[in-house]
Amino acid sequence: MSDLDDTLPGMGTNLRAFLDMIAFSEIGPSLLRVSDNGYNVIVGSTPAKPILFTDYSEHPRQYQKAQNSDAAGRYQFMGRYWNFYKNALKLPDFGPASQDRWAIQLIKECRALDAINRGAFALAVEQCRSRWASFPAAGYGQHENSLASLQDAYTDAGGEVANG
């Protein structure tokens, strides 16, 4: 669990679980355990060889040639978007609370917040697939997780799926 309780009081259980599911999808449970719950992970990390950063003042922008990416953090944000979201959301740093707020902003941009809140899990994942390459049918040519595995992670984190 992130520090959302302190920074975003009143957030629903489903949104918290959806954020945990994104981290599960992007980082994986083993890497989440050997890092700061994913908040300090650089793309290309593995549980056996984690690439972690310690300075949360800015997005680390550590380019990894093998992945052709500088994605970082719990939700694997690209460095090229950092300045825009830092300014737009008035983020003080790239710390956990800022990463959580940025992820929620992306969910809002995908118009998936309502689906998440009412438990329309599959629809919410579909609506957000343009933002997270590990989601089913994201189309980025990277490993994509199955909807079933993501739903398991979501419900394990306390999220509820609506019937029907």
**Active site (catalytic) residues:** 26
**Do the beta carbons of residue 150 and residue 123 sit within 8 Å?**
no
Q: How far is 20 from 40, CA to CA, in rounded Å? A: 15
What are the start-end ranges of the H helices in the chain? 4-7, 13-26, 29-33, 82-88, 96-109, 113-117, 121-128, 147-156
Encoded tokens for 39: 């908040």
Encoded tokens for 59: 């997005």
Q: How far is 86 from 61, CA to CA, in rounded Å? A: 14
